[in-house]
A and B are shown apart, each in its own frame.
Chain A
Amino acid sequence: MIRDYIDSGILETYVMGSASEDEVKELLHMKAKYPEVNEALQQLELDMEKIAMHMAITPPPAIWDKIEQEIGDIIPHNFQSPEPYKERNNYKENRNHDSGNQFIEVESESSHMRIHKTWKWVFAAVFVLGKIFLGCAIYFYLENRQAQQQLQELKIELKQLKK
């Protein structure tokens, strides 16, 4: 099938610029899909170069100047090269001159906050200390309650002894 396509002469038609739009589309698709088509096309392009080489004429030296001049005429003369980037360290000065367009509103819309990594250890320490304080509080509460009970018992014993 590919051989038939290559032998149909469509590649030669394309290389010589006589292929229709549909043929060109089909050929570019085939070229991308089949390496044989691509190879055949490259060979034909080399053949075209050989023909051209055989009939080559050296252009007169002035022709490049003409091309350069024509291109120069096409490019607008008022073209200015862009200014090199300068870091703005005169912030306040610029703000005073034209505060309207110089700066972009940077207020974040995100509900999240970014903090330094060292805060992780601070939070861990606070968490551990919190647990220690909680343990101590429970311990002293229980101790206190036991002491209260003992005190109550002692009071009762003391009353009984008085009687």
Chain B
Amino acid sequence: MLLGYIVEAVKNRDIAEQYLIAVFNDVQNELDEFTKPGVNAFCRLQLMARKKLIDFFGSSTEPVSEEKSNNKYTAKMNREQQIVFCGVHWQGKTIARLATELNKPDEAIRKILKECFTIIRSSSK
């Protein structure tokens, strides 16, 4: 699952595998976080991967772009929702950056993100 996410983010299988190894090597430093009650291990790993990918994301000057990947969830989102969801999920963009790029307040971006999750939830039923 984690490899799938990293591959989608970096679009290169070999680089993705390197990141995957780096993430698992870091697990030993964050064992406390994993053993906390109620922690979702996958989400924790994904957050670690996102942190590792900051450098990779940082090198990308890609402006607003819609659907970076083809999947059944993003296919149901409108252009704006795709920009926000893909921007945060696969391009590591902050809410503030997306707000600037889309010329909208932070709250509006968060609302759009919430709509994206509503679509994901309804699609998986």
Give every chain B residue within 8 A of A63 (Cβ-Cβ): 3, 17, 20-21
Which residues of A come within 8 Å of B, CB atoms? 7-10, 12-13, 15-18, 38, 42-45, 47-60, 63, 66-67, 70-71, 74
B11 interfacial contact with A, CB 8 Å: no
B24 interfacial contact with A, CB 8 Å: yes
Give the secondary structure class of A's interface.
helix
19 CB < 8 A contacts A-B: A8-B111, A9-B111, A9-B114, A12-B114, A12-B117, A13-B113, A16-B88, A17-B46, A45-B42, A47-B120, A48-B40, A49-B1, A51-B89, A52-B42, A52-B46, A54-B72, A58-B3, A67-B25, A70-B25
Residue of B nearest to A38 (CB): B38
Residue of A nearest to B42 (CB): A49
B60 interfacial contact with A, CB 8 Å: no
Give the secondary structure class of B's interface.
helix
Give every chain A residue within 8 A of B59 (Cβ-Cβ): none
Give every chain A residue within 8 A of B95 (Cβ-Cβ): 13, 18
> A7, A12, A15, A74: which contacts B25 (Cβ < 8 A)?
A74
Give every chain B residue within 8 A of A50 (Cβ-Cβ): 120, 124
- Whether the Cβ atoms of B110 and A55 lie closer than 8 Å is no
- Whether the Cβ atoms of B40 and A42 lie closer than 8 Å is yes
B47 interfacial contact with A, CB 8 Å: yes
B4 interfacial contact with A, CB 8 Å: yes
